[in-house]
Amino acid sequence: MKNADTSPTLVRDGVYALVTSGPSSQSRIAHYIAQNPEVVGDLSISELARHTNSGDASIVRFCRTLGFSGFREFRMAFTGEIERDKARRATQYLGSDDEHVRPEIGNLSAALQHSVAASARLLDYEQIESVAKRLRGATRVEAFGMGVSAVCAELLTHRLVWLGIPIHSTGIVNIGRGLAHGLDASTFAIGISYEGMSEETVEFLRTARDRGAHTLAITTRAKSAITEVADEVLLLSSSGPWPEAGSARLMPSMALLSECIAGCLKGS
């Protein structure tokens, strides 16, 4: 049995893991909690069941999967983590040398810097060199993502096209589907999905791989739908709270990865 006074993100990390690795009912519950952490403390088990199209028994099983006896114990631990995390982030200012910076801006800057640093620790330079070599040898490269991940695909495309890589990106489903069908063994397909759950991006990579293309997934979730259809995976940081809809938090880490790949290409 867990204790409500557990480590700062242990419970939340468990919730995040179930979003992509749990059974469908538990994944649905975990996804709702990840997207709405602030409201969990005010919900009853029946209310959470209604919001997640589940039953009370499913909520209890979800909590027990995470090591809690039931919803009440889980709710206490989870909300405790949220409050401790808010208090910690409230003191993450840039420092005394930046007293002119508003705390709200300082906190955002610190969070983005932390995310980039966490991504840097995840990246394997030898793998990036291998990706760069494949990019250089590909007759055609297609990058695809949805929403902010589409912007990340554009960022990568903009950086690499100036280095002579025949890369193109789109965030339009029908175009992406058509492009994937036109790939072959001489091509390279890149799918970008923050949570690794985008059905459209998964389908893009699956089709590209079926056509013989080498497939690369860029995501923050090592075990997710997108990683199952990729020949290789590049992980970026998922530190911090679950991203809000439209959040651009992945983009600084994507810029880091793009510059790393560009550096390898220029050195090759």
Report mean pLDDT in 10-residue bins for the chain, 268 residues: 47 83 86 88 93 94 94 92 73 58 79 88 95 97 95 96 96 95 97 91 97 96 90 86 77 96 91
Cβ neighbour number for residue 203 with a 10 Å cutoff: 18
CA–CA separation, 57 and 70 (whole Å): 10
Cα 140 from chain centroid (whole Å): 26
What is the pLDDT, as a whole number, of residue 97? 58
CA–CA separation, 21 and 15 (whole Å): 10
CATH topology assigned to domain 10-90: Arc Repressor Mutant, subunit A (1.10.10)
Name the residue with tokens 């009912």. Answer: 25
Q: Where are the domains of the chain?
A: 10-90, 119-267
Read off the tokens for 169. Answer: 């990106």
Domain 119-267 has CATH 3.40.50.10490: yes
What is the pLDDT, as a whole number, of residue 264? 96
Q: Which of 174, 235, 225 is nearest to 202 (CA)?
A: 225
Give the contacts of 5 (CB within 8 A, at least 6 positions apart). 80
Read off the tokens for 180. Answer: 């994937």
What is the pLDDT, as a whole number, of residue 240? 66
How much of the chain is helix, strand and coil, in % rounded to 5? Answer: 60, 10, 30
Contact 207, 179 (CB under 8 A): no
Q: Render the burial of 133-167: b for 16+ CB within 10 Å, e for the rest.
A: eebeebebbbbbbbbbbbbbbbbbbebbeeeebeb
**Phi, psi at residue 229, to the nearest 5°?**
-110, 10
**What is the amino acid identity at position 53?**
N
Contact 202, 226 (CB under 8 A): yes
Name the residue with tokens 């330079």. Answer: 125
What is the pLDDT, as a whole number, of residue 98? 63
What is the pLDDT, as a whole number, of residue 7? 41
CA–CA separation, 87 and 148 (whole Å): 28
What is the pLDDT, as a whole number, of residue 239? 64
Read off the tokens for 46. Answer: 């029946």
**What is the amino acid identity at position 38?**
E
CA–CA separation, 149 and 199 (whole Å): 13
CA–CA separation, 8 and 202 (whole Å): 32
What predicted TM-score, i.e. pTM, was given to this entire model? 0.77
Q: What is the mean pLDDT of the chain?
A: 88
